[in-house]
Structure 1
Amino acid sequence: MEIPNDDELVRRAQEGDLDAFNKLVERYQVQMYNLAIRYIGDPFLAEDVTQEAFVAAWKALGSFRGGSFRSWLFRILINEAHDLRRRHVKRTPGSLDQILEELGEFPQMGDPHIGPEETAVSAATFKAIEKCIQKLPEEYKLVLLLVDVQGLSYDEVATALRLPLGTVKSRLFRGRCMLRELLKDSGEL
């Protein structure tokens, strides 16, 4: 059986097919949550923002006029995260390792044949990078997360953030440079 693409699922969902929309939710819920937790820093608020983003997407689905559905979803998620901040819910963003530790989860290291020493080095590297990403200014952090962590194309990021393509590229370049300097200064690597 052929798996329907986003365009087909969106078309069906716009016609009122809740199952089609649920398939879109299943397809993107992990990516949406991953961005939310890295952007907000709190796992429970990230869950709320992700859920609110999907509810808002369902309500606004009639206004979707094509293009990248994924970038449209990320735009909604970002708006929900900004709304959360505007409501003055002040939470200190923790590093991803603290969040994962609270949840009892650990990053996947990939190859099961990697030994404990390599795993420890990978975990330390992961922690240092996440800690430094949290220190980036918001506009650079968001572009870096969308491109380097979520894997969106420059065009998708430009659409999601409503920015010119050149601005996305320059913010990504500057964000990566800042991250590199933060990692050097931290001395953790």
Structure 2
Amino acid sequence: MLRNLNTGTANPDTADADLLARFQESGAADDLLPLYERHAELIYALGIRYLGTPERAEDAGMEIWAVLMEKLPKHEIKNFRSWLQTTVRNHCLMQLRREKRDPLRNNDAELMQSDRLLHLSTESNHQTNNDTRPLYHCLKQLKEEQARCVRMFYLQEGESYQSIAEKLDLSVGKVRSHLQNGRRNLKTCLEGREKSTE
């Protein structure tokens, strides 16, 4: 669902608060969609960070849709993005707890790989499962603006579409496009390298 969203539905000039108020008043899924689409990349990034794989992140994204449908009409929310980050994080941590995994102490290779994907750790690590060299290689294959947007959104805490757009002198729509294309190209590159080593 997160991969296939057309994130151009909401007018970029419409504030989150206005989209939220519209949905809270109607309770209609069609009114939630623009708000969800606007923050789909954030939901996906947090899902990757906590759950470790694209597939699990997308599953969490679909579950978050249901959570928003249920919770948003019942809560007074002043900062939607901040509230959403907390909600997605708590959802992922609850899932990990159900699986009896402690994300703060767990050394599972899959979770460690996710952490390196999000933070590009520069620590030397030569274990096969934790090797970040394929990620570095594939990031270098991206077009310059795609790579910069991917690094700023996924690898730097707190960067939003708007802040990236301002720093790179791009439109919000262009930033969103670079993120979608960059993520897709990274996935294709990484999968190709994995197949070539099989």
Q: Could you tell me the TM-score, scaled by structure 1's length?
A: 0.51
> Which among 13, 32, 39 is matched to residue 23 of structure 2?
13
CA RMSD, aligned part only? 3.9
Q: 2:51 corresponds to which residue? A: 40
Q: Identify unmatched segments of 5+ residues in structure 1.
A: 101-105, 113-118, 127-144, 153-189
Structure of higher RCO (CA pairs closer than 8 Å, 6+ residues apart)? 1
State the Cα distance separating 1:31 from its structure 2 match: 1.2
**What is the count of residue pairs matched by the alignment?**
121
Matched, 1:53 2:64: yes
Distance 1:147 1:109, change over 3 A: closer
**8 A Cα contact 1:42 1:94, kept in partner:** no
Runs of 4+ deviating beyond 6 Å: none
Please give the TM-score of this superposition, normalised by the length of structure 2.
0.49
CA distance in 2, matches of 1:7, 1:73: 13
Alignment of 1:1-189 (within 5 A): 3-15=13-25, 16-88=27-99, 92-96=110-114, 106-107=138-139, 109-111=142-144, 148-151=156-159
CA distance in 2 between counterparts of 1:88 and 1:38 reads 16
Closer, same or farther in 2 for the Cα pair 1:146/1:43, shift >3 Å? closer
Taking a change above 3 Å as real, the CA distance of residues 21 and 84 of structure 1, as seen in their structure-2 partners, is same
State the shift of 1:20 in Å.
2.2
Q: Give 1:48's aligned amino acid.
A: D
1:31–1:150 CA contact under 8 A, matched in 2 = no
Output one character per residue of 1:150-186: Cα deviation in whole Å (capped at 9) or x when no partner. 427xxxxxxxxxxxxxxxxxxxxxxxxxxxxxxxxxx
